[in-house]
Structure 1
Amino acid sequence: NGSAPTNSKGYTVVNLSDYSLNRVSVDMENVPDDLELQTTSFNVVPTEKAVVYREFGAEHVLRYILRVKERDGRILNGGSAQTEQGLDAGFIAGNGVLLMNMLSAPSRVSVERGDGSVCHFSVKGIVPNTGKVQEVYCE
């Protein structure tokens, strides 16, 4: 909406037209990579001199971009990943890349390969939100 940037708490002020439909939205280009929003826009029809308050519902996420390899260095070709708590952590693509978006850092991830066998890798020492591919070995 062309408003000023938010403050450190995520608040901003937006001018709205009274008695008209206004769309209040977030420009996702300016949202940090480690923040996920539940919604990115609201439609509001304020009365004259109204103050309208809306929460977009944000959560900080830990994003991991991993290339998963077998113990011998071969790229793992597909598989589904789960955290030690049994949470779905994503699917490994044919090029061995696993994208994980987590609310808390897992310590260990299990991968079920296409043939039903399972391997594991530790997430300790892997830095989230780097935007870079990091290699892990599934044993």
Structure 2
Amino acid sequence: MEKWNALVQKMEAHRDLCFELLRIYLGLGLLAKGIFFISQTEFLSRLMMEAGEFQAMTTMVVHYVALAHITGGLMLVIGMGTRLAAAMQIPVLFGAVFFIHFKEGVFTTGQNLEFSALVLFLLILIFIYGSGRWSLDYSLEHKKAEVEV
């Protein structure tokens, strides 16, 4: 119990680092999903065709989704342009939640709606919060401040 209390105190003292780990993990997940979409473009195309919303623009949207996941995920991992990276992802996840998975409903086998909604929520939080101490943005900003002083 003593070790648990010490861990809790340490985590409370460094809450921002927990959020940083969440940003990095989410970035890795989006990067992996982007690589999956590049290697399995027919899967994403089929999802969009079944949704029926973007049939005319399927090829363009498939490329945007894959590119946004890969570049945005990588940017989230290293913390470069964190708000921009989240902003690139938000329309993709909004579309996934409301146009692709909403028709499936909740409590399905794959739980795609719930998971996509969670990722959308986390991206909105990251967009609001921005980057933290474990980011390239933070490092560059502090180096710039040191040079100016």
Q: Same fold (TM over 0.5)?
A: no
Give the number of the structure whose alpha-carbon radius of gyration is greater. Answer: 1
Greater length-normalized contact order (CA 8 Å, ≥ 6 residues apart)? 2
Q: TM-score range by the shorter chain?
A: under 0.3
Greater fraction of residues in helix? 2
TM-score normalised according to structure 2 size:
0.21
TM-score normalised according to structure 1 size:
0.22
Greater fraction of residues in strand? 1
